[in-house]
């Protein structure tokens, strides 16, 4: 192998990485499913559901693990690669819902990591962070559903309910 061929292979690798990064920005089903799984697994943790603690603690562990690793490995890379589309889009609705999604992702992510590291110990700060996480995550789920309406992994559900892409 010559130095030129090694350089050419690294250039090819750089182009493949760039293409992969750009492809990540479009219709990332895994990131969307992860977001919905987090929302679904977080619902039983709301006090209004008053689920049995034996079941709730395992749900909390699963929710925290999925939130930690799913957010870092799936949602953040998608979000980061998707920002370019947000900045260049001519569609005002997608720009607006994209910006709202960014803010809600920041609040949900930051409050989620606070809750993982320090938890809600019943004090005013813990309760505030818990409520911020709850409200932001519910809002995030709804905004993402609407933002990705036409390309959502939930499209079969929308069609079944007669709410197909418009």
Give Cα separations from 137 to 53, 68, 83, 88 (angstroms). 22, 15, 20, 26
What pLDDT is recorded for position 11?
A: 62
Residue 1, pLDDT score? 46
Q: 98 exposed, middle or buried (CB, 10 Å; 0-12, 13-18, 19+)?
A: buried
Q: Three-state SS for 28?
A: coil
pLDDT of residue 132: 96
Burial class (CB in 10 A: 0-12, 13-18, 19+), 105: buried
Q: What is the DSSP letter of 154?
A: T
CB atoms within 10 A of CB 70: 19
- Using CA atoms, how far apart are residues 135 and 127, in angstroms rounded to an integer? 12
Q: What is the mean pLDDT of each run of 10 residues along the chain (166 residues)?
A: 50 78 76 93 83 86 94 89 83 91 95 93 93 96 90 83 72
- pTM of the prediction? 0.81
- Strands (DSSP E) found in the chain: none
Domain chopping of the chain, boundaries: 27-160
């Amino acid at each position: 192998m010559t130095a030129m061929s090694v350089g050419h292979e690294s250039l090819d690798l750089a182009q493949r990485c760039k293409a992969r990064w750009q492809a990540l920005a479009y219709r990332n089903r895994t990131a969307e499913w992860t977001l919905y799984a987090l929302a679904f697994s977080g619902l039983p943790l709301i006090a209004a559901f008053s689920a049995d603690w034996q079941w709730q603690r395992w749900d909390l562990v699963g929710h925290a693990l999925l939130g930690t690793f799913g957010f870092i490995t799936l949602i953040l890379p998608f979000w980061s690669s998707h920002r370019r589309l947000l900045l260049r889009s001519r569609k005002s609705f997608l720009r607006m819902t994209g910006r709202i999604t960014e803010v809600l992702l920041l609040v949900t992510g930051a409050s989620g990591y606070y809750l993982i590291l320090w938890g809600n110990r019943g004090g005013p700060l813990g309760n505030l962070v818990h409520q911020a996480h709850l409200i932001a995550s519910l809002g995030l789920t709804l905004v993402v559903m609407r933002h990705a309406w036409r390309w959502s992994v939930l499209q079969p559900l929308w069609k079944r309910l007669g709410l197909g892409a418009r």
